[in-house]
Each structure stands twice: as C-alpha cells, then as structure tokens.
Amino acid sequence: MNILVTGASGFLGFEIAKALKDEGHVVFNFSRNASNELTELGISTRKGNLDNYDDVYRALEGIDAVFHVGGKVAMWGKWEDFYNTNVIGAKNIIRAMKERNIVKLVFTSTPSVAYSKESIEGKDESHGHAKEFLSLYAKSKAMAESLILEASKDGLQTCALRPHLIFGKRDKNIIPRLIEARKQNKLKIIGDGKNMVDIIHVSNAVYAHLLAFKALSADSPVNGSAYFIGQERPVPLWDFINDILAIKEQQPVTKKVPLKLAYTIGAVIELFLKVFRIYNVHPPMTRFVALQMGTSHYFSHAKAVNDFNYRQITSIEQALADLK
C-alpha cells in the first residue's frame, strides 16, 4: 500500500514510517521540512502544513491509507496555533481523504484528552474526555480525536491511539529535558513522589499502531474507537525518572515540592506569560505540568488487547536496558 505518515520526521512518526517501510509498504512523509534520516530510508517527503487544505490534498495523491501522527505538541502557546494545526489539520485530513476516496485513518491521540485535575487510576476508555482542560494541547487533541472518530460514521474507517509518555533512544523531548533540568539542578519531585503513571517504549507504541491498522475495517470494533496504550504495568513516576537519570549518569532527584505549591507557581507563570503575551517559550512550570508530575494517571489497556490483540514486545526492563 501507499501510506502517508504525517509528522514522520518526529520521534514516533519516524519509527512508524520505518516499520511500515520494513513491512513492504511505500511510505511518504508529510511535514514542513524534509528529513535526511527519512531520505536515507527511501521515504520521500511531501512538504506542507496541516492547516493548509491544498497542501494536504496534494500530499494525499495516490495514497491508500493515512497515519496522522503529526501535530503541535507543547505545554504552552497560543490557542490559535494549537487549533490551526491540530483541529483544522484533522478537518483537512478528513476532507481530503473523502475527496481522494481514501478510507483508512489511524490517529495518534494522547491520554491527556481524558485528564483534568484529579488522579486517574485504571480507568478505561468509557471515562471519556475531560470536562475542563488545563492544557491547550490536550483540548485541541480532544477536539481532533472527536472529529476523526465521528468520521467513521461518514464513510471513513478510523481509530485513535493514546500512547502515554513515549520514550526510547531517539526521544528528543522528554528525556533530554529531564537531563538538562537535572544538570541545572532545577528538577524536583512534585508531591510525595509515589504517584503511578503509564509509560510506553516507542517500539510498543509503533506495534500498537500497526496492529490497530491491520484490524481496522468497516465492521471491526476498532472502527470509530479510541484506545489507551501503555506498558504491562504502571510505574512510580519518580522512580522511573531516577532510573533514566541513573542510566544517563546523573544524580537522582530527592528534593520535593508540595503539589499545591507547584500548581500555584505554574498558575503565576501562566498569568505572567499571558499578560505579557509571551508564547514562544517552554515555561519551567504550568498547572498542567504540575498535575501531570504530581498525580497518578494510568489506564486499563484491556480494550486494545480485546479488539486488536495488543501486547508488549519490549518490557519495561528491556526498554530501560535499551536506553543504555
């Protein structure tokens, strides 16, 4: 099949594109810029922006299926930027697929669509979207997910996967930021340090996407469904962070900050940035980040197991060893 992967120059998108290529598909990337890594794999790039319909329509020429992985990911920014890339982008993908008579669409969502302020412990997909969002990223992804799953009622075959805290060797986001924060002595445990979270090695996230894609059909339970995806068990977040720090030869984090204090600091920083219209930054703390780092959020993966036989091909122990 000819398959388009949006955002294949990113961490997860690259690994999905590579896996599809290894399975014999002809794979194309859609992003603003080409990638030498992808070119070396024989994956060409069709350049464009998700919020530009003409770009999306051109990119889908001759395509049989789409993995929509790309989008704007950030803990702070302008709502217009999140909305245009993630929501308008989803609308453009759906519209162009219909006009091109392409039916299969696998969307990479996020568990953050279900997270508001309280801990989530073992909930399944019936938990639904959050009623209040502290993250514009999460809000825009929830809107995009709804649009894409609704499209399954209008001729498309769609599903949404929600991998949680993806990590691996090529990660250029989570792990590098943790290391840099630790080197600058800016990393502190938020809360009591006992909060449990889902994590997922990138190999398992890729495998879940491929399994869902193969199971996706008009009469499959996968069609129109969302799925939480994670490892075989949740982990204590700060133990996991310290495991990564140890692998990267950094000292463990031991100092703690009360969750309420971190939340208040995040609120003050957000207010300052909003008042002075500062958006193109990575703030040291936000309300959402404080809650994500200080509360539990892990989910049931039974639906993915039942609907498309999801399982882990890389254990937590193997994944940590791989980081070495």
* Catalytic positions: 137
105 touches 93 (CB < 8 A): yes
- CB atoms closer than 10 angstroms to residue 295: 20
Closest CA to 314 of 231, 248, 239, 208: 231
| DSSP for 135-154, written as a single string | -HHHHHHHHHHHHHHHGGGT
179 touches 250 (CB < 8 A): yes
195 touches 237 (CB < 8 A): yes
Residue with the two structure tokens 């539990």 = 296
Q: Which phi and psi (to 5°) does residue 113 adopt? A: -65, -20
| DSSP for 93-135, written as a single string | HHHHHHHHT--EEEEE--GGGG-SSS-EEEE-GGG-S-SS-S-
Distance CA 80, CA 82 (A): 6
**Which pair of tokens denotes residue 185?**
């002595």
Closest CA to 232 of 313, 174, 171, 295: 313
Query: What SS3 state is found at 157?
Result: strand
Distance CA 281, CA 118 (A): 27
